[in-house]
Amino acid sequence: MASDIIAGDVLAPVLAVDTPGSETSIFDTRALQQLDSAHYLHPFTDHGALRERGARVMVRGDGIYLWDSEGHKVIDGMSGLWCVNVGYGRASMTQAVARQMDLLPFYNSFFNTTNVPAVLLAARLVELAPPGFKHVFFTGSGSEANDTVVRMVWRYWQLMGQPQRQAIISRHNAYHGSTVAGASLGGMAGMHAQGALPIPGIHHIDQPSFAEHGHGMSEAEFGLRAAGWLEEKILELGPENVAAFIGEPVQGAGGVIIPPPTYWPEIQRICDKYGVLLVSDEVICGFGRLGTWFGCQLMGFRPDLIAFAKGVTSGYVPLGGVLVGARVAQTLVEKGGDFNHGFTYSGHPVACAAALENLRIMEDEGLVGRVALETGPHLRTAFAMLASHPLVGHAESMGMTAALNLVRRKGAGVHDCEDFPRELAVGMLCRAHMFDNGVIMRAVGERMIVAPPLVMTTAQIDEMVERIRFCLDLTLEDVERRGWM
């Protein structure tokens, strides 16, 4: 039935619409939605609910804006999915990718072969990385990057003559991807519950969320306390069994959880004390999100491995990888022999060409410095002002990511607010008002988050925050009408 309409009714308008500059569309949205729900299994989606509402069909992007198939224009407050750092519609990205596709669309890096963009990108990443990083392993995604981390860490300790060091410690509510190893490293209870996860050897400690766990402490005290959970876990497992600790400098998908400044230096001290490898998952924090090339540089720690993806290509083409620091590289690369790991698309020439052009744009436009000195501070001030809204308990930001908590009753401090009952799903309600009124924000429970493209100007930040305020008003009215306040 659905396939009957593919040829004539759906594809024709889809193909006919490609007119840059036009904000209207001639898409048959309903037909697309029907085909979508009939055939396309979406990631992290309740398909029963999707079928009722129908997916929103995105058709075009330019700068910080997206257009859907009905011609609605929205501010993309989430950079796609934390990745479109240089914004949509960059002609030089298209050219770089097209040029490489003409020249050499694919070749593998197995069997003593390589390709020009992969070589140049590896060298460029090493220039940008913190001192001590001289090697890169390429993957197709952030999940594959973290799978690679697991395999590298285990292989490293095997080569070091300590094969019993297999435990990897991560944190509850962390996100490290959705492959079996990635989901195991991650601390998403809902993901673990749907399979036999985590795999053996992966352990979790609590996240450094001051709002959740910091009652009765100063933020500085809490940072040390939260890092102390790592030491307790290492001692519980036996230091001789612990291979690595992995964390995002700022937890992204978990809801922009910003640890106190005392946290990461103490984590570093503990890892050093027990010889445990330290892994920074920079899939979100890497490439300027926090105002530094890598988040560990801002947070004051020196990881042994850095996982990256998303912002490395601004999402234009999938690419991920692992930067390998001196300690692991010396063992694995210099005396490890064959490392039996890799992907068909490791070092994909088109993806690497996209990354090179993306990094050139970021450097030419000084985007990392702009986040540190101009747009990041502006976003912080704007979000601090949103905290005065009756529905907002508190707001936080770091670089170009920010979050606010929707609360039923405001209090003096983060621990004095009254939360909405989870089952009311006020975050989702708020998200829908945002989505319908021209701004994309993500809801993590009752925490509303943004991570806009790094090219967003201060004027555009104001435009976005005005819209957010308007939608908070709509949400407040809605919540009051339902008698939930």
Contact residues for ligand PLP (CB under 6 A)? 82, 141-143, 146, 175-177, 248, 252-253, 281, 283-284, 309-310, 320
Minimum distance from residue 140 beta carbon to ligand PLP (Å): 8
Minimum distance from residue 224 beta carbon to ligand PLP (Å): 24
Locate 25 and state its tokens: 């569309």
Specify the residue, 143 or 268, whose C-beta has the smaller distance to ligand PLP: 143
Please, are residues 169 and 135 in contact by the beta-carbon 8 Å criterion?
A: no
Question: Which H or E run includes 237?
Answer: helix 219-237
Minimum distance from residue 141 beta carbon to ligand PLP (Å): 3
Specify the residue, 167 or 451, whose C-beta has the smaller distance to ligand PLP: 451
Specify the residue, 278 or 309, whose C-beta has the smaller distance to ligand PLP: 309
Distance of alpha carbon 273 from its chain centroid, rounded? 30
SS3 assignment, position 140: coil
Minimum distance from residue 17 beta carbon to ligand PLP (Å): 28
Please, are residues 229 and 269 in contact by the beta-carbon 8 Å criterion?
A: no
Q: Give long-range contacts, CB 8 A cutoff, 24+ apart: 24-33.
A: 24/71, 25/59, 25/67, 25/69, 25/70, 25/71, 27/57, 27/59, 27/69, 27/70, 29/54, 29/57, 29/69, 29/70, 30/54, 31/5, 32/57, 32/69, 33/57
Minimum distance from residue 138 beta carbon to ligand PLP (Å): 13
Please, are residues 167 and 203 in contact by the beta-carbon 8 Å criterion?
A: yes
Specify the residue, 61 or 142, whose C-beta has the smaller distance to ligand PLP: 142
Specify the residue, 256 or 386, whose C-beta has the smaller distance to ligand PLP: 256
Radius of gyration of the CA atoms of the chain, in A: 23
Specify the residue, 283 or 392, whose C-beta has the smaller distance to ligand PLP: 283
* Nearest alpha carbon to residue 347 among 116, 85, 150: 116
Of all residues in the shown chain, the one whose CB is closest to ligand PLP is 142
Residues β-bridged to residue 305: 279, 324
Please, are residues 301 and 335 in contact by the beta-carbon 8 Å criterion?
A: no
* CB atoms inside a 10 Å sphere around CB 29: 19
What single string gives the DSSP state of each residue in 160-174?
Answer: TT-TT--EEEEETT-
Minimum distance from residue 85 beta carbon to ligand PLP (Å): 13
Specify the residue, 143 or 207, whose C-beta has the smaller distance to ligand PLP: 143
Minimum distance from residue 31 beta carbon to ligand PLP (Å): 29
Q: Give the amino acid at 175.
A: Y
Angle in degrees, CA 26, 88, 310, rounded to 5: 125
What single string gives the DSSP state of each residue in 399-446?
Answer: TTEEEEEEEEE--SSGGGPEEPPGGG-HHHHHHHHHHHTTEE-EEETT
Specify the residue, 253 or 400, whose C-beta has the smaller distance to ligand PLP: 253
Specify the residue, 175 or 420, whose C-beta has the smaller distance to ligand PLP: 175
Minimum distance from residue 367 beta carbon to ligand PLP (Å): 19
Minimum distance from residue 44 beta carbon to ligand PLP (Å): 10
Minimum distance from residue 148 beta carbon to ligand PLP (Å): 11
Specify the residue, 34 or 179, whose C-beta has the smaller distance to ligand PLP: 179
How far apart CA 480 and CA 367 sit, in angstroms, is 41
